[in-house]
């Protein structure tokens, strides 16, 4: 029987589950700090996202359990005749539901939200160390049409 996912905007009470999912893979375990209490930086970031009408931190739930998270950012651009884009970031599913379709449903939800907000495209990035994620996104219709670059700052 397939999972029945529901989607909602995350609340402060979800932060523990969110950070746990973000840290539960080989890359996330190197850059996230899942500890009790959670570092204050997570709460500050959450509050900034929550206060911004162009950012949505979405959790996927099975009944009351949070099993997925993604952030959708809506950005206006001068290009494309002043069109809006949606950027999907921080997509994670709990290890207990991986391979069961939760990720597909989450991305489909984000695409639906982008259309609902009048966006003309959805974009995302995936780490080059995650080739399976690239294949997953391509199966959902995303195309690697651009080369993405990042400049990280030292803390």
pLDDT digits (tens, 9 = 90+) for 38-66: 999 999 999 999 999 999 999 999 999 99
E strand or H helix at 60:
strand 55-62
Cβ partners under 8 Å of residue 121, min gap 6? 80, 83, 85, 86, 114
pTM for the full predicted model: 0.92
pLDDT at residue 1 is higher than 60: no
Q: Is residue 97 within 8 Å of residue 68, measured between CB atoms?
A: yes
| CATH number for the segment(s) 5-139 | 3.40.630.30
CB 57 within 8 A of CB 71: yes
Task: Note the pLDDT of residue 19.
Answer: 96
Helix/strand/coil percent split, the chain, to 5: 35, 25, 40
Give pLDDT, residue 103: 94
Token pair listed for 155: 């803390």
For 105-147, the pLDDT digits (tens) are 999 999 999 999 999 999 999 988 889 999 999 999 999 999 8
């Amino acid at each position: 029987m397939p999972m029945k996912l529901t989607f909602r905007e995350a609340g402060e009470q979800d932060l523990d589950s969110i950070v746990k999912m973000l840290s539960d893979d080989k890359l996330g375990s190197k850059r996230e700090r899942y500890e009790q209490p959670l570092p204050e930086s997570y709460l500050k970031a959450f509050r900034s996202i929550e206060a911004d009408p162009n950012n949505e931190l979405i959790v996927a739930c099975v009944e009351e359990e949070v099993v997925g998270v993604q952030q959708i950012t809506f950005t206006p651009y001068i290009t494309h005749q002043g069109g809006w884009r949606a950027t999907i970031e921080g997509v994670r599913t709990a290890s207990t539901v991986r391979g069961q379709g939760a990720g597909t449903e989450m991305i489909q939800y984000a695409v639906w939200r982008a259309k609902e907000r009048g966006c003309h495209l959805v974009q995302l990035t995936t780490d080059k160390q995650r080739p399976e994620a690239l294949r997953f996104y391509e199966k959902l219709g995303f195309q690697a049409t651009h080369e993405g670059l990042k400049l990280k700052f030292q803390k």
